């Protein structure tokens, strides 16, 4: 495998990393018919899904899934309390504490004209305390309801530790409210899941871990470091921006807390290290992630999950995450990813899934339409365990002007995707294929790409695509391969160089229009499997067998002629040379028993001496 196995050792520094790593400064034409013969080495066959799931999750799935269920029950309890606090005449005009079952106490911040600050939390008993080292320890969970804002900003360098240990963990939830946090380049705001007893970050997830989540509200963070937060699910994954669900809203309350209201957020110069999910977004609109760094996540780096619209990621690095660097899943549209680096991830660098939520009637009545209108441009992905870029289903997806290197496959399209544009990308050092278009992709445009170093440069199977104006070099099997039914596909104006059976492999494909391509620099070579297959044709094998029989027969006949005629028994000796034909009983160790002499008696030698019974007259 050509793929590198090294992993990025993420070193998070307070001031210099983002400014240095992220900020700006991110032959002769010939017809191919002569080369399109019927001899082909098939090479590796791409599949829709190789079954890779990334690196194993280190926690306890059974235990953590139970904790997630408990968290949802706790949030339901808090929704009721938050709703009651907003109704006129409730008498709840100041923050109050709720103690749900199986959880640490939770402080509910009621609507207020001014943002709540550190000092407000310090004033609430047993909630926030200053530690000897100058950090703050949050010992109760906090809920920010609609109409309330929690501002964790502070001009001086400081750390906020969220209690997270086997004894329990806290969370900061925005139930329709706003969460803000900001530091400076010199003094960033740092929020850490913290085991107070051990005085270390909480690295274990099997007993749950502290997390931050907004539901239907807004999260705005800048110059902030988050580390060792979250467990198991996206909602509890560390930093989650999610839409509201079943949030009751009084008539005169802020409508942003209405049932199903989308969340929104802006993350600028945020560093996230060691979360379960780096950033999880669901049911949100207008989310912006810029100039940020997400590393060492236990699952995905960045996830746009369901019903995320009009959102973007720019000038950001996502690296060394256990599964995908950045994942856009079904029902998310209008996602723009620009100038992002995704590398050293356990599965794919960038993954876009636009398949329908259902293919017919379903319990939830989900739509059967494809999703799409997503763009990946001017980004870099390298050294991932599977694909650099994966597009499954969806429509109107653009993958343009990206750099893709050192992956199993560079760019992979599959699953009935349509109107996908793959153009002007640079794909290098793929273990198998540079670009694949397989399994019912329709109207794909693969144009102007440069593919260097792959088994096959561009691979098309059972799909329709225009493969034009691409440059393939250093291919070791084929420049372009077409397999299955590819009606309406066109292969023309490509420049193909490498060494292998054919520049263009048409043996197993039908329905493709083959135009003029430049193949003068293609060196036709036969791999060992092809040489063996050519030699061992059925008639060839038959003639070899007959020739072998003739040679063996002739050899035996020649040997007989050189030896002449001889007596076949000449090595045998007659019996007379060994005996005279008479043997006395004594010579063989037999002695006759004495018996009375009678006429015509016969002695049987070798039988027991039983007296008269051994004698016959």
**How does residue 545 score in pLDDT terms, banded at 50, 70 and 90?**
confident
Instruction: Express each pLDDT in 326-335 by its tens digit.
Output: 999 988 999 9
pLDDT score recorded for residue 602: 47
Residue 513 has pLDDT above 80, yes or no: yes
* pLDDT attached to residue 274: 98
Is residue 350 within 8 Å of residue 342, measured between CB atoms? yes
- Average pLDDT estimate for 10-33: 35
Judged by average pLDDT, the poorest of 23-32, 220-229, 442-451 is 23-32
Q: Which residue has the higher pLDDT, 488 or 252?
A: 488
For residue 184, what pLDDT is reported?
Answer: 92
Q: Can you tell me the mean pLDDT for 431-458?
A: 97
Give the confidence band of 568 by pLDDT, cuts at 50, 70, 90.
low
Cα(201)–Cα(496) distance, integer angstroms: 53
Between strands 189-195 and 30-31, the pairing is: unpaired
Q: Which residue has the tokens 């969970």?
A: 141
Q: According to the model, what pLDDT value does residue 593 have?
A: 57
Q: What is the pLDDT of residue 24?
A: 37
8 A C-beta contact, residue 280 and residue 305: yes
* CA 614 centroid distance within chain: 96
Task: Quickly list DSSP for 339-357.
Answer: S-EEES-SS-SEEEEE--S
The size of the chain, in residues, is 617
Q: What is the DSSP string of 142-207?
A: EEEETT-EEE---SS-EEEEEEEETTEE-EEEEEBSEEEEE--SSS-EEEEEEETTTTEE----TT
The H or E element that residue 528 is part of is helix 528-535
Q: What are phi and psi of 555, to 5 degrees?
A: -65, -45
pLDDT higher at 91 or 533: 91
- Min mean pLDDT across 127-131, 192-196, 298-302, 539-543 is at 539-543
SS3 548: helix
CB neighbour list of residue 429: distance below 8 Å, 6 or more residues apart: 2, 405, 406, 452, 453, 454
pLDDT value of position 237: 97
Question: Can you give the pLDDT at residue 27?
Answer: 34
- Domains, the chain, with CATH or none: 61-250 (2.160.20.10)
Q: Please name the residue that has the structure tokens 């017919």.
A: 360
Q: How far apart are CA 433 and CA 144, in angstroms?
A: 50
Query: How is residue 126 annotated by DSSP?
Result: T
Higher confidence at residue 188 or residue 14? 188
525 pLDDT band, cuts 50/70/90, is: confident
Cβ–Cβ < 8 Å for 279, 300: no
Mean pLDDT of the 191-207 span: 97
pLDDT at 248 over 50: no
Tokens of 148: 């309330």
Q: Out of 182-186, 225-229, 356-360, pick the least confident.
A: 356-360
Report the alpha-carbon distance of residue 403 to residue 12 in Å, rounded: 25
- Average pLDDT, integer, range 247-269: 60
Q: What pLDDT score was predicted for residue 565?
A: 60
Lowest mean pLDDT among 121-125, 200-204, 269-273, 531-535: 531-535
3-class DSSP assignment, residue 422: strand
pLDDT digits (tens, 9 = 90+) for 296-319: 999 999 999 989 999 999 999 999
Cut 0.95: pTM above it: no
Question: Any idea what DSSP says for residue 535?
Answer: H
Q: For strands 218-227 and 189-195, give the pairing.
A: parallel
Q: Which helix (H) or strand (E) holds 483?
A: strand 471-492
Distances in Å between the Cα of 34 and the Cα atoms of 263, 460, 483, 514, 520 are: 59, 20, 19, 12, 11
pLDDT the model gives residue 15: 35
290 within 8 A of 18, measured Cβ to Cβ: no
Radius of gyration of the chain from its Cα atoms, rounded to whole angstroms = 40
Residue 557 backbone zone (phi > 0: left; psi -120 to 50: alpha; other: beta): alpha
Q: pLDDT digit string (tens) for 29-74?
A: 233 333 343 344 555 565 555 457 899 999 999 999 999 999 999 9
Per-residue pLDDT at 395 exceeds 80: yes
> What pLDDT is attached to residue 455?
97
pLDDT in tens, 583-617: 666 666 666 555 555 444 444 444 454 544 443 33
* Whole-number percent of the chain with pLDDT over 90: 65
Report, as an integer, the average pLDDT of 224-246: 92
Residue with tokens 């038959």: 542
* 394 pLDDT higher than 50: yes
If one compares 369 and 104, the residue with the highest pLDDT of the two is 104
Higher-confidence residue of 369 and 313: namely 313
Query: Using one digit for the tens of pLDDT, what is the confidence trace for 473-486?
Result: 999 999 999 999 99
Residue 337 banded pLDDT, cuts 50, 70, 90: very high
Longest dimension (CA), the chain: 149
């Amino acid at each position: 495998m050509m793929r590198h196995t090294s992993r990025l050792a993420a070193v998070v520094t307070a001031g210099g990393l983002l400014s240095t790593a992220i900020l700006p400064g991110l032959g002769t034409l010939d017809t191919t018919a002569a080369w399109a013969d019927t001899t082909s080495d098939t090479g590796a066959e791409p599949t829709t899904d190789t079954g890779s799931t990334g690196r194993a999750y280190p926690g306890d799935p059974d235990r953590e899934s139970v904790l997630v269920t408990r968290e949802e029950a706790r949030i339901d309890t808090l929704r009721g309390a938050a709703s009651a606090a907003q109704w006129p005449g409730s008498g709840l005009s100041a923050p109050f504490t709720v103690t749900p079952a199986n959880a640490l106490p939770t402080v509910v911040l009621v609507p207020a004209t001014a943002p709540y600050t550190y000092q407000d939390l310090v004033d609430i008993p047993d909630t926030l305390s200053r530690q000897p080292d100058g950090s703050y320890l949050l010992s109760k969970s906090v809920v920010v309801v609609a109409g309330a804002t929690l501002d964790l900003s502070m001009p001086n360098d400081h750390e906020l530790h969220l209690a997270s240990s086997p004894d329990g963990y806290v969370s900061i939830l925005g139930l329709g409210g706003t969460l803000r946090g900001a530091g400076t380049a010199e003094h960033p705001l740092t929020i850490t899941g913290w085991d107070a007893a051990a005085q270390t970050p909480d690295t274990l997830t099997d007993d749950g871990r502290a997390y931050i989540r907004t539901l239907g509200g807004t999260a705005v963070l800048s110059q902030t470091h988050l580390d060792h937060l979250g467990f198991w699910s996206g909602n509890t994954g560390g930093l989650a921006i999610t839409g509201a669900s079943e949030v009751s809203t009084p008539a005169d309350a802020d409508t942003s807390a209405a049932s199903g209201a989308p969340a929104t957020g802006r993350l600028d110069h945020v560093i996230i290290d060691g979360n379960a999910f780096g950033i999880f977004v669901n049911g949100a609109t207008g989310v912006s992630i810029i100039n940020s760094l997400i590393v060492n996540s236990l699952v995905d780096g960045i996830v746009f999950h369901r019903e995320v619209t009009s959102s973007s990621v720019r000038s950001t690095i996502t690296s060394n995450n256990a599964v995908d660097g950045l994942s856009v899943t079904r029902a998310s549209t209008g996602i723009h990813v620009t100038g992002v680096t995704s590398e050293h991830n356990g599965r794919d660098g960038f993954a876009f899934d636009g398949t329908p939520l259902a293919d017919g009637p379903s319990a939830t009545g989900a739509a059967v339409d494809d999703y799409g209108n997503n763009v990946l441009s001017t980004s870099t992905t390298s050294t991932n365990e599977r694909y650099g870029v994966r597009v499954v289903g969806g429509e109107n997806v653009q993958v343009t002007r990206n750099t893709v290197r050192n992956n199993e496959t560079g760019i992979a399209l599959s699953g009935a995707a349509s109107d996908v544009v793959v153009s002007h990308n640079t794909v290098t050092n793929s273990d198998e294929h540079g670009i694949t278009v397989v399994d019912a992709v329709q109207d794909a445009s693969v144009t102007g790409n440069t593919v260097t170093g792959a088994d096959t440069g561009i691979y098309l199977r059972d799909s329709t695509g225009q493969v034009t104006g691409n440059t393939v070099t250093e291919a070791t099997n084929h420049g372009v391969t077409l397999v299955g039914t590819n009606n309406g596909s066109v292969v023309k104006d490509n420049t193909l160089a490498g060494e292998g059976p054919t520049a263009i492999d048409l043996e197993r494909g039908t329905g493709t229009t083959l135009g003029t391509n430049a193949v003068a620099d293609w060196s036709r070579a036969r791999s060992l499997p092809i040489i063996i297959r050519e030699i061992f044709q059925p008639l060839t094998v038959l003639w070899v067998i007959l020739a072998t029989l003739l040679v063996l027969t002739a050899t035996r006949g020649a040997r007989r002629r050189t030896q002449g005629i001889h007596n076949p028994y000449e090595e045998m000796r007659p019996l007379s040379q060994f005996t005279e034909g008479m043997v006395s009983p004594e010579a063989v160790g037999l002695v006759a028993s004495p018996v009375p002499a009678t006429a015509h008696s016969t002695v049987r030698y070798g039988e027991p001496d039983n007296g008269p019974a051994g004698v016959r007259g």
